[in-house]
Structure 1
Amino acid sequence: MDHLVHVSVVRYPIGEHPPVGQVTRILGSDAEAAADTDIVCCKHDLSQRFNEEIEKTASELPMTFDPQSGEKRADWRDVLTFTFTEDTQRDSLSFIETAFTLERTEENDWQFAVHISDIAHYIQAESLLDKIARKRGTTVYLGEKVLSMLPEMVTKCYSLKPDQDFLTISVIMTFDKNGQLLEYTIEPTVIKVDHQLTYPEVQSILGSLDQVPKKQQPLADKLKDLFFTLSPLVKAQRLQRGGFELQLEPRSPYQDEGRVGTLIASSRTPIRSLLTELVVLANKSVANHLRALGVPGIYCTQPEPDWEELEDLLKLAQNLGLEVSLESEEEITPQDYYNLTQMLGKSPHVHVLNYLLHETLKSSKYNSHPGSHFGLAYDDCYTHCVSPGKRYVDLLIQRVLKLVFSEGRDRRTKQTKTGVNLFSSSCHGNINWNVLPPNRQEELEETFHFLVTYLNDREKTAEEAEKDLEGLQKAEKMKERTGKVFKGLITGVQSYGFFVEIEDLLVEGLVHVSSLKDDWYEYRSRHGCLVGRKNHIAYRLGDEVEVEVKSVDYYRQQIDLVTVGGGSTINNGN
């Protein structure tokens, strides 16, 4: 009997000797009988659980706040503090690592703080928990299943819950009335969360500000200032310097800009999108600070897209009647993408066009040297620091900051009377000495240089696994619709057939040229179309067609379609 199994290779083929493998798990009688998450985990060798030793080590971590550990930290416990989460009912997914405060300064500027759970305080370098976190590299989101970087006990203990004291690392940013970042401070803190809110709850409060109970009025005022004033101002500043965003729904509500590669404006959770503006700025501030101090760091970079990746999309948009072009094919800029999003927004097919535009972006990469990030329109540096319990890079960055706090030299020599404030952006441009001790500097540089390749591989694996799950789920969805007819848009044409995006479902399938029985079709690459020799019917980029779902290969995620109607008529075969 045929079964789908996971096999561990014991010996690879040598000469005439075939490979030898050992069955480690029976997934099902066939691909469709197996759980999609199990298939993905086996394919990408993702562990779904932690061993007993790791779980035991996690259970031995301090469960309660130690007042002594907060003595040398700035105390923010009396400041109104709030957190945001997707859904309070899904506890396994709600590891809350960031809390927020918003205040007015004496100069009437905005002071917005991102308080990040101090995971590095509890997970020491080279400890067992650190090694498993490094091995996993990142948290992977497979639908309802979350493959955490750290055991659940860690996330339960150090998730920022209401009415408890927590150790945090805070990025405290000051903005003027126009949303321009003036300065920032990064320091160890102690906080207490006053309110844990879901995004729908925030939306509800903001939608009925005149009906807020008196007890909730201070919170409502903060939310109003944050989402109606500060966040929109910061967003306007970003767009003014050439940034862009895509109108998309994320594959997972728990993904941030790291794996998505740019900022997205979700119609379902606009509040989340606005908050992301400020969280990204906190990441950027930390990157600027590491660079200004001259200490080792891991930076997140993203190269510009390739012209070849954009060419078909531009042809598609032009065939849909949109006047789109780039200033230069030699150098693609974020401003080009902003202009494209404005033009694509005029099309009734904007949803699928934005989806295809997102596909042209390259994956972000980690680097031990600062570099540009195309999707966020940063030309100098960017990093990740707000998710130290979900992403190993963030944990490493947190450790670097803590080293600066504890061992950083704030002056050139001991004889120098006054030093700089290493916690503040005010020190930038005033440091001409090594902030960290030479042995620490060298150790971190070597570690980061070695780790970036591995961590890039882990991120790539996570990204591929998440896409694989999405592909399997789409295949399963379409198998149930075999024989049904849908309207779609031709999004790609090759000599062997053309790809059709079923817009309502955001599912792509292939119409193979062999299924076009009414004529012999020639491929014209310059025009991006298939043309019938006799009937002069063409299938070109941007054509709307009706297709029937012919067959679905679930495991290979292949959806075969046949045309029912549509296409274009070309006079005289031209």
Structure 2
Amino acid sequence: MDKTERRILNILKRRGGQRLSLQEIQRRFTTGRERKAVLKQLARLVSRGKVTKDADGKFSITSAKKRLVGRFEPTNERFGFVIPVSPETNDIYVPAQRWGGAIDGDIVEVAFTKRRGGRTTGQIVRIVKRTRHELAGKVLKRREGMFLVPLSAKVFHEVVVVNNEAGPVEDGLVVNAVIDKIDDRLNRINVSIVEVWGKPDDPEVLCRIVIARFNIPTVFSDEALDEARRVPRTITESDLRGRADLRSLVTFTIDGEQAKDFDDAVSIERRDGGFRLWVHIADVSHYVAEGSALDKDAYERANSVYFPGSVIPMLPFELSNEICSLKPNEDRLAMSVQMDLDKRGEVCASKMFKSVIRSNARLTYTEVGSLLEQHRKGKDVSEDTPGFAQYLYDMDDAAQLLTKARMSRGSLDFDLPDPVIILDLQGKPEDIVREERNPAHRLIEEFMIAANEAVASYLTVNGCKCAYRVHEPPDDESLIGLSQTLKSVGMKVSFAGGDLSNKFQQLIQRVRGKRIERLVSYLILRALKIAKYSPENIGHFGLASSCYAHFTSPIRRYPDLMVHRFLKQQLKGKSKGKVKMTNEALKEATHHCSVRERAAMGAERKIVKMRQAQFMADRVGERFTGIISGLTARGFFVELDQFFVEGFVPLVSLSDDRYSFSEEKQCITGEKTGRRFRMGDAVKVRVRSVQVPLGRIDFKLIDAST
């Protein structure tokens, strides 16, 4: 080790973890030559992980903690998380000033420790790889030069345009730029503009921002498109070999009005004391061979991504909307799950097989939901779905049995609707409403859960590989924190002893329809872990299922496609048509799919936020009523009554007092007045400002007496 390196380490060790700037370290050296060498040796020590450099350019000795490599994801709250490469490890919390110069998406090495209270906290000690090479942003022209307001990444550096290769660009337009240099010391990023995208409220520009932000692949390879074009458009006699012919069985699909890819269909027979139910899933694996170009592109995407009015599909439309889509009155290849239900809603027998089906009708959630709601009220509206009404009534009865059985074992059921963006002919939002769930949604949901469980159990019993959908129970620290917070809002709950999932379910039922329901649901969701894919079966806590996998959507989810292949292998016999995937490859694939699912969900949430902001942009200054839907240290969120839109009230905008947030009590309180804000409180607000590309809506509280 170099003499200067040893001195630097001794200086930092003697400071007991205190951070020092470059100048503070250099002052401890006497000659100009030594001081010049300090910068070079510090860089070497940081690259080797012996010294940590924080985002503000200060240095400290790296403590002897555990380390791992992962992807860095900052938040708007100026803290971040490292998402480990290893699927067995939970996310690492990284507070502000411990980012070590990392930006959104970087692959980093983090030193971490688990503190009291259960939170694993870390410090980024090395940037392994810069993954973000481009940055989309809004042009900001100043006297001293041109800058970008980052939109495609959570970046807190100043972004300076040093070169413009796209020609003249107007202030306020959205552009795409190449990152030339990241200067952590100056907290600055130098970029070169390479493409002008357009105005920040243009729907296409908003999509491009989100696609760039979450790194969503949008272009299929030429090889994959060529394979898709060569897929036959009709079924041949050779396709039918070894398949059960179910074309005479009354079968139909139930989907949303705008759906174009129908990957599941259902059939039913009422039997003495129960039902025989069939769930038919498009046989995508028949057309997408393992290791093919189509397979590689599908794997990279891992899922379809749904935006208001458009979709980025996992498979080319030639497959997803054509030969793999279970269209009415057309023969289609399927993988069918046959299940016998007893009068308690338990699946007492099941079998899986390859099939050919012919859907009799394409039904929608709206028409089926309306029929079932009227039937439950004793009204006959069977003429709305001629020929299918009795089948739908039987399905509704079966679904209610399945729901009752699932809930009796402790499955969780949150009533948290999603926003639906209604677009006009120009693609602009004209209304935003709550997603309505009716009996038809529940019917399909229950049938798909039952099929997923049946397939997962079959593969497990037969010792086959499987890409399980797993959901771990909350850890003890989370349960203690949840119990304490609930106690502070007047609810005494003990999670000790007994069945935990049943305790959670009883808690949800206890607050159903009450003002406190949203708060309790939020607190429970915060205590729960994130569901993911895994080669190991550890059960699914949220569904109270001991064995679960995703099987029912192979058109839009890659894990389902893997499960289809494993199922086919078992049905054939392990010696025939063996799936090539090794145990290590399966482990990597399930982790990859979990990561891409997270990106897709982030993209879908972000575009909805942008569209909500776009909808409210013409309503700045208008007044609305709403309820408080979320609390943070910086302020509170308000969900409007008139539109399903959420905005933010910053605490700094409340001028009548100084307010502080108590996470334990889940309230914001004024120091002098004692005025409190809690989730569920009714308030009146005025739209203060809107930033469409950021998906941000700011409100100002206008009713001080609320």
2:312 to 147, 153, 156: 147
State the match for 1:467 in structure 2: 605
Partner of 1:222, secondary structure, is: helix
Distance change >3 Å, CA 489–CA 299, structure 1 → 2? same
| Structure 2 Cα separation of the partners of residues 25 and 316 of structure 1 | 51
Greater alpha carbon shift after TM alignment, 244-253 vs 508-517: 244-253
1:276 to 435, 438, 445: 445
Distance change >3 Å, CA 292–CA 561, structure 1 → 2? same
The answer on 1:448 being equivalent to 2:586 is yes
| 8 Å Cα contact 1:4/1:31 also seen in 2 | no
Partner of 1:480, secondary structure, is: helix
State the match for 1:546 in structure 2: 684
| 8 Å Cα contact 1:313/1:357 also seen in 2 | no
Distance change >3 Å, CA 240–CA 542, structure 1 → 2? same
State the match for 2:561 in structure 1: 395
State the match for 2:623 in structure 1: 485
Amino acid at match of 2:281: I
The answer on 1:244 being equivalent to 2:409 is no
| Structure 2 Cα separation of the partners of residues 222 and 114 of structure 1 | 14
Partner of 2:702, secondary structure, is: strand
Greater alpha carbon shift after TM alignment, 467-476 vs 345-354: 345-354
State the match for 1:289 in structure 2: 458
**1:492 shift after superposition:** 4.6
**1:287 shift after superposition:** 0.9
**1:27 shift after superposition:** 2.1
State the match for 1:415 in structure 2: none
| 8 Å Cα contact 2:552/2:560 also seen in 1 | yes
**1:246 shift after superposition:** 2.0
1:385 to 547, 551, 555: 551
**1:17 shift after superposition:** 13
State the match for 1:557 in structure 2: 695
Gapped regions of structure 2 (runs ≥ 5):
1-169, 422-433
State the match for 1:42 in structure 2: 212
Greater alpha carbon shift after TM alignment, 386-395 vs 356-365: 356-365
| Structure 2 Cα separation of the partners of residues 332 and 20 of structure 1 | 56
The answer on 1:235 being equivalent to 2:395 is no
Higher strand share: 2
| 8 Å Cα contact 1:284/1:383 also seen in 2 | yes
The answer on 1:365 being equivalent to 2:532 is yes
**1:115 shift after superposition:** 1.0
- Give a deviation string over 1:171-207, Cα, whole Å, max 9, x none: 1101112222101001111212122212233235443
| Structure 1 Cα separation of the partners of residues 494 and 487 of structure 2 | 16
The answer on 1:407 being equivalent to 2:576 is no
**1:276 shift after superposition:** 0.8
The equivalences for 1:147-546 within 5 A come to 147-155=312-320, 156-206=322-372, 207=374, 210=380, 212=382, 216-217=386-387, 219-227=388-396, 229-250=397-418, 267-305=436-474, 324-328=491-495, 333-348=500-515, 350=517, 354=521, 361-378=528-545, 380-408=546-574, 440=578, 443-521=581-659, 527-546=665-684
- Give a deviation string over 1:363-394, Cα, whole Å, max 9, x none: 3211110112222122x221101111111111
| Structure 1 Cα separation of the partners of residues 666 and 500 of structure 2 | 25
TM-score, length of structure 1 as denominator length: 0.80
Greater alpha carbon shift after TM alignment, 496-505 vs 296-305: 496-505
Amino acid at match of 1:103: E
| 8 Å Cα contact 1:6/1:42 also seen in 2 | no
**1:157 shift after superposition:** 1.7
Amino acid at match of 2:458: H
| Structure 2 Cα separation of the partners of residues 316 and 547 of structure 1 | 28
- Give a deviation string over 1:75-129, Cα, whole Å, max 9, x none: 2122111111212xx3xx3211111111245x66411011111111111011111
Amino acid at match of 1:42: A
Greater alpha carbon shift after TM alignment, 136-145 vs 341-350: 341-350
State the match for 2:132 in structure 1: none
| Structure 2 Cα separation of the partners of residues 215 and 243 of structure 1 | 32
| 8 Å Cα contact 1:295/1:441 also seen in 2 | no
Partner of 1:394, secondary structure, is: helix
**1:236 shift after superposition:** 0.6
Distance change >3 Å, CA 65–CA 355, structure 1 → 2? farther
- Give a deviation string over 1:500-523, Cα, whole Å, max 9, x none: 443554544333333222234455
| Structure 2 Cα separation of the partners of residues 497 and 546 of structure 1 | 15
**1:224 shift after superposition:** 1.1
| 8 Å Cα contact 2:484/2:664 also seen in 1 | no
| Structure 2 Cα separation of the partners of residues 367 and 214 of structure 1 | 44
| 8 Å Cα contact 1:352/1:503 also seen in 2 | no
Percentage of identical aligned residues:
29
Partner of 2:547, secondary structure, is: coil
Amino acid at match of 1:465: A
Distance change >3 Å, CA 475–CA 313, structure 1 → 2? farther
Distance change >3 Å, CA 191–CA 346, structure 1 → 2? closer
> CA-atom RMSD, angstroms?
3.5
- Give a deviation string over 1:376-434, Cα, whole Å, max 9, x none: 122x22110111111111111111111112233xxxxxxxxxxxxxxxxxxxxxxxxxx
State the match for 2:255 in structure 1: 85
State the match for 1:137 in structure 2: 302
Partner of 1:467, secondary structure, is: helix
Gapped regions of structure 1 (runs ≥ 5):
254-264, 409-435, 569-574
State the match for 2:282 in structure 1: 117
Distance change >3 Å, CA 216–CA 315, structure 1 → 2? same
| 8 Å Cα contact 1:55/1:151 also seen in 2 | yes
State the match for 1:71 in structure 2: 241
Higher helix share: 1
| Structure 2 Cα separation of the partners of residues 215 and 493 of structure 1 | 46
Partner of 1:464, secondary structure, is: helix
Partner of 2:608, secondary structure, is: helix
Partner of 1:113, secondary structure, is: strand
| Structure 2 Cα separation of the partners of residues 22 and 175 of structure 1 | 63
